Amino acid sequence: MDNGSEVLAKLPNPNAGPAHFTVASKAKIDNDLESAILHKYYEAQVCKRAPRHWTVLQNRAIPMSRKPVWLVTGAWENRDLFFLRESLMELVAYWDEFFPDSPCPIGFTREHVEMQAKENENINGVGQMLALFRDHAVLPVDGMVNPKDLAVARENCRKFKEIFVELGEDDEEKKLFRNLWTYQESEVGAW
């Protein structure tokens, strides 16, 4: 229990317990694990059989300069402008270190940097909030809900979304929180 200034007692969460895995989530975990193992095997083979290629891959500038190119291909369809801008800002910050003989072709105003920092702060806050929901079994991590619990899960999701959105300090931040909420209501009546 929390009186607003200090924790008086920690009560057990009746919804907490062993993780609930569906066949789909188990298959995804197995697939992700296999992918990670194959990637490590690939890295070991490149290191062993193509040491010059491995040396290039270890250069910090390579992924940093490649990330904006990778992000730009889907930036508009995926609404990833935040991450594209973030990777470009990182590239600009390290440009002189990686390309000392060439001037950086792009730049950002102080206003853009401040805007990015505010969005990053908001995204981190949302991430922390969702992590709390996940850790305390408030909402399903993978979106999988037992069909008999669907109505309760929808109602809980709506309640937590309302609480979360009301944490916004002004209308602009409330609108941002509403759009950032992971479990969005769909046209067919899902979340």
Query: What does the alpha-carbon distance between residue 120 and residue 102 come to, in Å, rounded to a whole number?
Result: 29
Q: Note the pTM of the prediction, 2 decimals.
A: 0.43
% pLDDT > 70, the chain: 68
For 118-142, what is each residue's pLDDT tens digit? 888 877 877 777 777 777 766 666 6
For 155-166, what is each residue's pLDDT tens digit? 887 888 888 888
Residue 79 resides in a domain: yes
Minimal CA–CA distance to 71: which of 87, 60, 57?
Answer: 87
113 in the same domain as 101: no
Residue 161 resides in a domain: yes
| Ordered DSSP codes for 116-160 | HHHHHHHHHHHHHHHHHHHHTTSS-SSS---GGGHHHHHHHHHHH
Residue 145 resides in a domain: yes
For 38-81, what is each residue's pLDDT tens digit? 888 888 888 899 888 888 778 777 776 666 666 666 666 666 67
78 in the same domain as 132: no
173 in the same domain as 125: yes
Work out the average pLDDT over 84-112.
89
Out of 1-5, 143-147, 165-169, 174-178, least confident range: 1-5
120 in the same domain as 137: yes
Residue ending a domain, among 92, 108, 124, is 108
Print the domain residue range for 72: 63-108
Residue 9 resides in a domain: no
Give the chain's domain count: 3
